[in-house]
Chains A and B, each alone.
Chain A
Amino acid sequence: GAVVSQHPSRVICKSGTSVKIECRSLDFQATTMFWYRQFPKKSLMLMATSNEGSKATYEQGVEKDKFLINHASLTLSTLTVTSAHPEDSSFYICSAGPPPAGGPYEQYFGPGTRLTVT
């Protein structure tokens, strides 16, 4: 099956710094990738849809200036948490899926990145 990787798997940073998380589709091209956030014992919440070559689409309530998304190629999307604060500490997961001829598709998930802001 399709493989999606994330890097790093775990990161600890100080408050006020920025952190970049990479999401890669290893064996397929993904024009669209998705970024999710998960709080402890909660379901995944879609943060934004990353579109190759264009601006990301953010869900309501997600600060686009804080969570910068760049989808520079068909196999790489990055999420940068800018000026991180302790409340940004969370588990971030990306997903991607090879598009079919029409309609949504099965998504493959990355292993996630645990961000801890001290």
Chain B
Amino acid sequence: KQEVTQIPAALSVPEGENLVLNCSFTDSAIYNLQWFRQDPGKGLTSLLLIQSSQREQTSGRLNASLDKSSGRSTLYIAASQPGDSATYLCAVTTSQLSFGAGTTVTVRA
């Protein structure tokens, strides 16, 4: 059974600092990996989708890397802003989506 782990569980940084969020998974036979953002009490917003054949995806200040062989993905958020405060979830697709527990990010103004 696929297990997805996100470290750290929570992160607090001053505005402007770069964020590094980690995700690891146990079964490397994935089709893709997604990073989501979730605001309190809200649904999921898809940030980046990386296919298994890709090594990274970029969107604005966000960059996600994927090392399928080692079962790891990292989400980088450059020059963090208070509006980036949210919980970030990673999920991998095998026969279904398996989610990590998320990293809750607080960016202090």
Contact = CB atoms under 8 A, between A and B. Distances in A.
A107 B4 contact: no
A112 B43 contact: yes
Interface in A80-117: 91, 93, 95, 103-104, 106-112, 114
A44 interface: yes
> Looking at B46, B91, B97, which has the most chain A CB atoms within 10 Å of its CB?
B97
Contact of A46 (B32, B97, B100): B97
Q: How large is the interface on B (under 10, 10 to 19, 20 to 34, 35 or more residues)?
A: 20 to 34
A115 to B, nearest CB: 12
Contact of B96 (A41, A49, A103): A49
A109 B100 contact: no
Interface residues of A, number: 22
B81 to A, nearest CB: 23
Given A106-B34, A106-B49, A46 B96 contact: yes
A49 B97 CA distance: 11
A54 interface: no
Contacts of A109: 36, 43-44, 46
Contacts of A114: 41
Contacts of A107: 97
Given A93-B44, A104-B32, A43 B99 contact: yes
Contacts of B63: none
Given A43-B102, A44-B89, A110 B43 contact: yes
Contacts of B36: 109
B44 A104 contact: no
B94 interface: yes
A11 to B, nearest CB: 13
Nearest 5 pairs of A and B residues by beta carbon: A111-B43, A112-B43, A43-B99, A109-B44, A43-B101
Interface of B: 4, 31-32, 34, 36, 41-44, 46, 49, 89, 91, 93-97, 99-102, 104
